[in-house]
Structure 1
């Protein structure tokens, strides 16, 4: 059969909330809601290249919590840190900056901030430099994955927090788990299903790992398989079926695979996702969580679940 196509309709239009703001990121929460982080002005890069950590003037962030029924907005003003991610953390919001600097003498940026639903700060803590992805479970376990600079060190970090490539933290920034099973040089993708199941995909071997059993050392297990995809930036799964971004040079091209036998995936089928105009997505942000893919193009949000994919594939 020809490669399957699936047309997605937007489930939300956030244009009424974006005037005077730029979208920073769009992520799914454990609750299936979309969390959109916006800033009133994108900070200039240092020397035109490097992402700022501390900001030289106050900025205003806005968080949109979006379902197909409503949009809730939370304004977080007078901020002097450059945040890139937002996740629900129990009854609060967690903002995280991808970069942070070590200044020497045990002085460093605190790049995680917990705020209440009125935008007031509650606490700050360190999650390390070079964060590739942040996902938080229902019970408040924070999972962070790191790209190469966060693993090998930059921004003054001779002993990087993210040296293990994948860590779990409690809601107060205390380490619960450090990966020791995988030799991660760059964790390209993370998908936190729940407290007991966390998938990750990493370089150098482009291996897919599955953490299970919880964070207690005596119960933790990590299994591996080879997805035969190089450079994928994300994937969603129901544990048996997988949708991957196709890899290097194939942005917004998707490959569907399923478990052929334990530890082995099928060769895969290319899937084309179309917008409501029946044209392929061109510049969409993507976020993969559990069995669903969240897309954002312009001010529109789209979502597809594995069940919907299976309706056109099998």
Structure 2
């Protein structure tokens, strides 16, 4: 990594209370309202691949901690996402073509309200403030499953397909949805292979910007600015600050994103929400944030 690249430090955001550290973290996320969630089990995730199991979601936000017990969970090693009504969605990233229980929806009391299938190869699962689910898919799903083939889709919480991407001028087929940012009812995606910045609003692509930044999997957007996080090889911890025009992304400055103490990030999870890039590093008990605002 270039020595002259300055550092940008993440800021502490939310932490799993020590009370729950004896449980196993299956997944963690940050929702559309800024709350952090941890999906926890008593048994290691690899031991939960046959029968339904119980799980606990611990929510941290606005200075408070809340528990939701989920009963008879079906998806194996699922991603967790919170809904506006206090419920949750669990989704297995990989799905057999006949598996109708890939996605499981729970109400605020932890009871199942429905199951459905959304396609193999889930890379991103983000619910918006209305409760719709935005899914970005990686290449094995795009090229192996008809439901995943568009690369980017929006679903209702009952499993109804609401919108799917199709190629538009300036952006071709999505091979792999590297980056997805959802804020309000707007989504931004930056897919492989040419990495155009695609803006979707109210169910249609409203703008495509040509983008020279390659391989980012985190994105912060605010007005006429965007910051891309990560890349290939030595650019894995790179931040690229950019100016947005009507048709293009224009890099202005680069830095290296580090932990609050200045340490390297290592293995991480990333959630992009509007102006914020949320980053979680191993052992995944704490969320940090970079905020363009």
TM-score range, shorter chain: 0.7 to 0.9
1:189 aligns with 2:164: no
Structure 2: runs of 5 or more not aligned = none
CA distances 1:186-215 after superposition (whole Å, capped 9, x unpaired)? 1111111222x2111111222221112x12
1:262-281 equivalences in 2 (<5 Å): 262-281=246-265
CA distances 1:259-290 after superposition (whole Å, capped 9, x unpaired)? 2x321222242223343423333333221111
Task: Give the structure 2 partner of residue 252 of structure 1.
Answer: 237
Q: How far off is 1:166 after superposition?
A: 1.1
Structure 1: runs of 5 or more not aligned = 46-53, 308-314
1:102-113 equivalences in 2 (<5 Å): 102-103=97-98, 108-113=99-104
Task: Give the structure 2 partner of residue 57 of structure 1.
Answer: 51
Q: What TM-score do you get using the length of structure 2 for normalisation? A: 0.87
CA contact (8 A) 1:3 1:269 kept: no
CA distance in 1, matches of 2:114, 2:159: 10
Instruction: Give 1:209's match in structure 2, choosing from 179, 198, 205.
Output: 198
Task: Give the structure 2 partner of residue 98 of structure 1.
Answer: 93
Seen in structure 2, the aligned counterparts of structure 1 residues 221 and 12 have a Cα distance that, compared at 3 Å, is closer
Q: What TM-score do you get using the length of structure 1 for normalisation? A: 0.81
How many residues align? The count is 282
CA distance in 1, matches of 2:17, 2:84: 27
State the superposition RMSD in angstroms.
2.3
Task: Give the structure 2 partner of residue 19 of structure 1.
Answer: 21
Seen in structure 2, the aligned counterparts of structure 1 residues 276 and 201 have a Cα distance that, compared at 3 Å, is closer
Runs of 4+ more than 6 Å apart: none
CA distances 1:63-89 after superposition (whole Å, capped 9, x unpaired)? 222225122122224423214322222
1:1-314 equivalences in 2 (<5 Å): 3-44=5-46, 55-91=49-85, 92-103=87-98, 108-153=99-144, 157=145, 160-181=146-167, 182-195=172-185, 197-212=186-201, 214-215=202-203, 220-249=204-233, 250-259=235-244, 261-297=245-281, 298=283, 299-307=285-293
